[in-house]
Amino acid sequence: MKYRAVIHLFYYEDMSIEEISRVLKQKPSTTRAQLTSARYKLKEIMSKEDYDV
């Protein structure tokens, strides 16, 4: 999944947007957009789990 790497590098490896974009060989704006989308999807997943309990 394209969002998994961005989330992992940002939160677990403590890398900046610029560092992640270099590692993944993409523009910083692409990395930033993927991180934003990943956060949104993660928020949706987490909120659905709250109602399942």
Q: Which two tokens stand for residue 45?
A: 């997943």
Contact 8, 18 (CB under 8 A): no
AA identity, residue 30: T
What confidence tens digit (pLDDT) does each residue in 18-52 have? 999 999 999 999 999 999 999 999 899 888 876 65
pTM for the whole structure: 0.82
Domain extent, residue 8, equals: 2-52
CATH code: domain of residue 47: 1.10.10
What is the number of domains present in the chain? 1
Count CB neighbours of 53 within 10 A: 4
Contact 18, 53 (CB under 8 A): no
Contact 3, 41 (CB under 8 A): yes
